[in-house]
Amino acid sequence: MKLYAPSTIKEIKERYGFKISKSLGQNFLTDKNVIDKIIGAMNLTPQDLVIEIGPGLGVLTAEAAPQAGKVIAVEIDKNLIPILKENMEDFDNVEIINQDFIKINLINVLEQNDIINGQKRDAVKIMGNLPYYITTPIIMKILEERIPADSITIMMQKEVADRIKAAPGSRTYGALSVAVQYYCTVTDVAKVPKEVFYPQPKVDSAVLRLDVRKERPVKLIDESVFFACIKNGFGQRRKTLSNSLSGVCGLSKEEVKDALGEAGIDPVRRAETLSLDEFAALANCVVSRIAK
Ligand code: SAM
């Protein structure tokens, strides 16, 4: 059975009386080439543990399972669980968890799956065709909770992918770009037109692979100060840095100007022009002023 065929999706809807939920971002993938590109980009090996976000009917799950050691598929919609169980019945290495991915304790899940097929597991690879409304919180959950994942291969709205990849100075460069690029290197996997989903969404999508860095690209004295500078700077992105950062970590405007000067950053610049290295230098100069 071709799970990704629109005729299969329609048949499943009828057989189970399943109603596609718009609010849960249910746009099912119907293109085998795109499925192959996503799975191919993950370079799966028989000792890998795959964590899938939102398996839906299981089109990605069914391709990953034969190549990976185990696939844990986390699906929020309880109405999809019996369908998914039936669709995955040929695989003995797929575990289905009916939970909200945002609320799941992933560290626990990973601890319980340290051993696969009697051997220490290899890499942890996260994948998903993400519901648009929740893409950023899901990515930030994985990164901020320091989930020991090696890579995150995900489909998202093209506009979000553009923001993640953006370089300093571009219109789409913002807090999400700096945060993701701090934790990961970013690789383009595919551009995906809206026509390959059922039902069809309003916008095109893109697939990115985020490889989680083993070492951070910049040295920070206090990571929370770095993120506070990013949040404040982009929170008022039209303002100059001396204005947008005024009050950050309790610093006065004068102290902010001093910190910018020490970091070699002109105070009339805007956050959208600052590279990762410059944000790091600035954050470290802010830290020394908090301590004074
Ligand atoms: N992977 C399937 C595919 O490619 O056809 C389905 C993708 S669909 C865009 C998103 C899936 O994520 C849906 O099955 C939806 O029910 C599920 N979902 C939405 N919010 C979720 C959440 N917070 N946690 C887990 N799954 C979620």
Q: How far apart are alpha carbons 238 and 246 in whole angstroms?
A: 14
* Residue from 277, 200, 228 nearest 9 by CA: 200
Cα-to-centroid distance, 104 and ligand 1 (Å): 14
Digitized pLDDT (tens) for each residue of the chain, 292 residues in all: 799 999 999 999 999 999 999 999 999 999 999 999 999 999 999 999 999 999 999 999 999 999 999 999 999 999 999 999 999 999 999 999 999 999 999 999 999 999 999 999 999 999 999 988 899 999 999 999 999 999 999 999 999 999 999 999 999 999 999 999 999 999 999 999 999 999 999 999 999 999 999 999 999 999 999 999 999 999 998 999 999 999 999 999 999 999 999 999 999 999 999 999 999 999 999 999 996 5
Alpha helices in 239-275 (DSSP H): 241-244, 253-262
Start-end ranges of CATH 3.40.50.150 in the chain?
6-212
Position 291 scores a pLDDT of 60
Query: Which residues have C-beta atoms less than 6 Å from ligand 1?
Result: 24-29, 53-56, 59-60, 74-77, 80, 100-102, 129, 131, 134
Start-end ranges of CATH 1.10.8.100 in the chain?
223-290
Cα-to-centroid distance, 24 and ligand 1 (Å): 7
Whose C-alpha lies nearest to ligand 1, atom 20? 24
User: Rounded to whole angstroms, what are the CA distances from 20 to 30, 95, 140?
Assistant: 15, 23, 27
Position 1 scores a pLDDT of 76
Which of the listed residues 36, 96, 129 should we mutate to test ligand 1's pocket, taking the one with most ligand atoms within 8 A of CB?
Answer: 129
The CATH number of the domain covering residues in 6-212:
3.40.50.150
Cα-to-centroid distance, 75 and ligand 1 (Å): 6
Cα-to-centroid distance, 243 and ligand 1 (Å): 41
* Residue from 121, 110, 55 nearest 88 by CA: 55
Position 82 scores a pLDDT of 97
Which architecture, in CATH terms, is 223-290? Orthogonal Bundle (1.10)
Name the pairing type of β-strands 124-129 and 184-192.
unpaired
Q: How far apart are alpha carbons 165 and 169 in whole angstroms?
A: 12
Name the pairing type of β-strands 119-120 and 124-129.
unpaired
For the whole model, what pTM was predicted?
0.95
Position 292 scores a pLDDT of 58
